Amino acid sequence: MNENTSLSAKDEGRLDDFYRAMETESSRFVGYPSNSVFDYSDLYRFLRFPLNNIGDPFVESTFRVNSRSFEQDVLRFFAKMYRAPEDNYWGYVTSGGTEGNMYGLYLARELLPEGIVYYSEETHYSVSKVLRVLALRNIMIKTRANGEIDYEDLRETLRIHRDVPPIILANIGTTMKGAVDNVDTIHEILRDLALPSFYIHCDAALSGMILPFVTDPEPYDFAAGIDSIAVSGHKMIGSPMPCGVVLAKKKNVDRIARSVEYVGTLDTTISGSRNGLSPLFLWSAIRKLGPSGFREMVVRCLKMADYAIERFREEDIDAWRNNNSVTVVFPRPEPPVLKKWQIAASHDIAHMITMPHVTRELVDELVRDIVGTEP
């Protein structure tokens, strides 16, 4: 075995350069929903273990270098927050929102193999990829100006295909505009059309950690009649690596569970080996902040979004946000601004997302840059 385990001076220098670059880039990071305010230094000691939560988080494995007990705590927190039935929920910590959406649609396909997936044109790009991977029939529905699904188009399209069970992917906060598809309205349409068999999966990547902490949330949880939900962990909570949580009804998951003898657990997840560090990060944040801490965080972010809108409008720049959204939409600025601030843009609009690390000073500087580069 090679005893020389240290990096060369050149490699060390490359890492130092990379660290300084990341410091700079993270200081001008307002276009994407990733919270950079976190400190998990008390967990660094666990980096020396190959933590692997392979298989079902609720079934012990012969691979015992894992963080399953912490993952279960995380899942209980989310299940309570999303009002999942106490004796009929299941979930796991995922690699992020895409895997969570894949799991929800995979489960729907297994339950309704002839089903058609309905999703809006504002849905995250990963969903169309997931639909191809799962070979699911699907129809894209138009959206309203604010990014919310067009309920009349949904109703008419469902009516035309009412002989096929629908699988609805509801956006709980669209990517570009932060719009929420109203689950109550979707249920009303399904009842009016007398559709007895259906499945509703919610993509709540960002807003899944906002709506539980506001006074007037749109309907989005299990009590509102959903079947599964996916939320990101690295967005509002914050994590050094992408992660997320998916929750579903246990009675549905039980229908797809398979036993794997050589790992001594059930194969109920999309991935085999799963990151055992992410549950520790999420557990730590939940224990430190709790519901009251997350509520304070969300209130601050919403107030910062209103401040940003105010500053934009002071410069005669049209800016707005959806109800209960921290996504501030404004006209697409010039390329130098997009690059400097890492701003997401689509067609003629762009957005900033007032995550916990976004300050008034950052908002002011961004607005000055936009005004200063207008043609």
Q: Give the total number of structural domains in the chain.
A: 2
27 exposure class (CB count in 10 Å sphere: 0-12, 13-18, 19+) = exposed
Six-digit token string for 353: 């997302």
189 and 322, same domain (yes or no): no
**Residue 259 in domain:** yes
106 and 230, same domain (yes or no): yes
CA distance to 29, 44, 307, 309, 367, per residue, from 361 (Å): 13, 31, 11, 14, 10
Find the DSSP H helices in the chain. Answer: 9-26, 68-81, 97-111, 125-133, 151-160, 183-192, 250-253, 277-314, 335-341, 360-372
Using one digit for the tens of pLDDT, what is the confidence trace for 11-21? Answer: 999 999 999 99
97 and 210, same domain (yes or no): yes
Q: What is the mean pLDDT of residues 78-106?
A: 95
Residues spanned by the domain of 299: 15-32+291-372
Q: Decide if pLDDT at 262 tops 50.
A: no
- Matching residue, tokens 């933590």: 51
Q: What is the pLDDT of residue 61?
A: 84
50 and 28, same domain (yes or no): no
Domain stops at, among 255, 286, 317: 286
Q: What is the pLDDT of residue 261?
A: 46
CA distance to 108, 128, 173, 221, 287, per residue, from 185 (Å): 20, 24, 16, 14, 35
**Residue 109 in domain:** yes
**CA 361, CA 75: separation in Å to the nearest integer?**
36
Measured in whole angstroms, the distance separating CA 250 from the mean position of its chain's CA atoms is 21
130 and 253, same domain (yes or no): yes
93 and 151, same domain (yes or no): yes
Q: Decide if pLDDT at 335 tops 70.
A: yes
Residue 267: pLDDT band (50, 70, 90) is: confident
Domain stops at, among 224, 254, 286: 286
227 and 362, same domain (yes or no): no
Active site residues: 325
**CA 122, CA 143: separation in Å to the nearest integer?**
7
Q: Check if the beta carbon of residue 279 is closer than 8 Å to that of residue 40.
A: no
Q: Decide if pLDDT at 234 tops 80.
A: yes
**CA 40, CA 22: separation in Å to the nearest integer?**
18
CATH of the domain at 26: 3.90.1150.10
244 and 356, same domain (yes or no): no
- Residue 199 forms beta bridges with which residues? 167
147 and 245, same domain (yes or no): yes
Q: Decide if pLDDT at 374 tops 60.
A: no
Domain stops at, among 226, 258, 286: 286
**Residue 108 in domain:** yes
128 and 218, same domain (yes or no): yes
**Residue 267 in domain:** yes
User: What is the reported pTM?
Assistant: 0.94
Q: What is the mean pLDDT of residues 92-96?
A: 96
211 and 256, same domain (yes or no): yes
134 and 240, same domain (yes or no): yes
CATH of the domain at 100: 3.40.640.10
Residue 96 gets the label, from left (phi > 0), alpha (psi -120 to 50) or beta, of left
Smallest CA-to-CA distance from 239 within 278, 295, 294 is with: 278
**Residue 302 in domain:** yes
